[in-house]
Structure 1
Amino acid sequence: MDATNPRLAVEAVTRTFPARGRAGPTLALQPTTLSVAPGEFVAILGPSGCGKSTLLRIVAGLDRPTAGSVTLAGRPVTGPGPERGMVFQSYTLFPWLTVEQNIRFGPRERGLPEAAQREIAARLIARVGLRGFEGHWPRQLSGGMQQRTALARALANDPAILLLDEPFGALDHQTRELMQELLLEVWAADAAGARKTVLFVTHDIDEAVFLASRVLVMSARPGRVKADLPVPLPYPRDWTVKTTSAFGALKARLMGEIREEVRRAAATEA
């Protein structure tokens, strides 16, 4: 990781949600600092409610920190922008637009000529394996196909960073594994120096180890980064990497880290 020239820098970010009813303010994030180098694939792993999705929403500009700062390529993040492509767990395609029209949405909003929009859509449709479905409506697609479309839509603006918030969490096990492999294929298809920077939130340890070059482990709420572990598995990867001793060793360590936080959270709530 190039710590001297990060693509993303999160500096002492905190988030406190205001009081609701009789409940007082909720501290969701303790001061959190992290950086992601250009082309890195970083997974954020942690127990439920630890603030990992809140952190991702702050990076996306969909929420604002109570304190601290976020910069992308040296520029402050103050709101949403096309330089950040976002994929959510829920299916967020525009139901009134076809597959092609959903993917063309960002380039169209940027004012690109129609021919350029169609070229971008055609290239990405081929890349995510949706040829033949260009004219389908979201309701006609399976969950996996909807998330393929969402991934292509996020890539259509050629963002500086791709932000994924448990994008495969609603899929069945087999489809989820196929989507993980697809995401890695799309990411690794570019030359190493041109790969997208990725920040991927998940609660699934296997998924984090399989996909990422680094895994950040967050503590129970209020969240903070408690561990930053490299993944010593070369790319390209396929499902067989999950049977290796290196995969198993890192998974075991991460399981220990997460179990410790889950127990701490349970003890706090008791």
Structure 2
Amino acid sequence: MSRLSIRNVGKTFPGVQGGQPTQALQPVSLDVADNDFITVLGPSGCGKSTLLRLVAGLETPSTGDILLDGEPVTGPGADRGVVFQSYTLFPWLNVRQNICFGLREKGMPAKQQREISDRFIAQVGLRGFEAHFPKQLSGGMQQRVAIARALANDPKILLLDEPFGALDNQTRVLMQELLLGIWEQAQKTVLFVTHDIDEAIFMASRVVVFTARPGRIKTEVATDFPHPRPYTIKTSPEFMAIKARLTEEIRAEAIAADH
């Protein structure tokens, strides 16, 4: 059984002040296996983030069903860790307190909270910053905290919505390598939304390409590069061939969206 099963899920938003409703997502079906790393790629406004919010339980589907380990998704839950582009940290909590937030909500003993937070602080490279507050951290460091907080809860699936979109290019590349390294160790199931083609190919075991809005799945491309996956793979002929194909797919959709 798939860990995540999306079955004919569509989303239409009601019109504003009696205006026409907006179909954000045509019915989409997608199965995500345990420990799979799926990237969802598509032009801006194609419904990628809407799909992620539906899986997170932050929106309700207009049609279809979403099942996680066979159970219907009916709202947000600790079984799904979510990381957004904006860092969404609690500004009044320091690094350790942010990472421990979900553990504290579960009523976990302080000693166990500390052990778990120590592990993830080390994994995301933030040793020495445990007592810092978000405003004292760079964007990349804040996103490391957000990823550590999501992972500390030990969710069944990690949902990431353009998590590196606000970072400069060099930091973004380093964060991709960091997250992929954590995934290679932890073997989490991941659904990752991006509009960056290189990022989509480098991170994923499978790239799902969306059409222009209203979004639907246009194609899926397997990226069978070995792990651990070095950044140098981005200049390999195999990588460049997939990039050329996906560039054409996305370009066609961007042109369609403009007409």
Q: Please, what TM-score do these two structures have when normalized by structure 2?
A: 0.99
Structure 2 residue corresponding to 1:240, chosen from 232, 236, 248? 232
Structure 2 residue corresponding to 1:132, chosen from 113, 116, 128? 128
Report SS of the residue matched to 2:125: coil
Q: Percent identity?
A: 64
Which contiguous aligned blocks of 4+ residues in structure 1 show a shift greater than 2 angstroms?
none
Aligned to 2:21: 25
The question of 1:197 aligning with 2:193 is answered no
Aligned to 1:256: 248
Kept after mapping to 2: 8 A contact 1:61/1:79? yes
Aligned to 1:96: 92
The question of 1:145 aligning with 2:141 is answered yes
Q: 1:80-122, CA deviations, whole angstroms, 9 ceiling, x for partnerless residues?
A: 0001000000010000000000000001101111111111100
Q: Give the count of matched residue pairs.
A: 259
Note the aligned Cα RMSD (angstroms).
0.7
Amino acid aligned to 1:233: F
CA distance in 2, matches of 1:8, 1:189: 21
Q: How does 1:1-270 map to 2 (within 5 A)?
A: 5-21=1-17, 23-190=19-186, 195-267=187-259
CA distance in 1, matches of 2:107, 2:146: 20
Listed as ranges, the gaps of 5+ residues in structure 2 are none
Q: Please, what TM-score do these two structures have when normalized by structure 1?
A: 0.95
| Displacement of 1:232 | 2.2
| Displacement of 1:234 | 1.1
Report SS of the residue matched to 2:6: strand
CA distance in 2, matches of 1:232, 1:249: 13
Report SS of the residue matched to 2:256: helix
Amino acid aligned to 1:43: T
CA distance in 2, matches of 1:57, 1:70: 11
Amino acid aligned to 1:46: G
| Displacement of 1:42 | 0.2
Q: 1:36-72, CA deviations, whole angstroms, 9 ceiling, x for partnerless residues?
A: 0000000000000000000000000010001101000
Listed as ranges, the gaps of 5+ residues in structure 1 are none
Report SS of the residue matched to 1:175: helix
